[in-house]
Amino acid sequence: MEHKATDKIKKNIDKIKKTRPKWMEVMAQKLNLNYMNTYK
């Protein structure tokens, strides 16, 4: 389960990187870090 969730997030972040400005990319990376820290 965790692996699939992580894959989903990585795909979402890849999408964001392609379609959003730089600050959105940074926000996404921070959110991803928060998620990873919460669900270690």
Spatial contact of 16 and 28, defined as CB atoms under 8 Å apart: yes
Spatial contact of 25 and 17, defined as CB atoms under 8 Å apart: yes
How many domains are there within the chain?
A: 1
| pLDDT attached to residue 14 | 82
| pLDDT attached to residue 40 | 55
Q: Would you give per-residue pLDDT tens digits along the chain (40 residues)?
A: 566 778 888 888 788 777 767 777 788 788 887 776 776 5
Domain range enclosing 31: 2-38
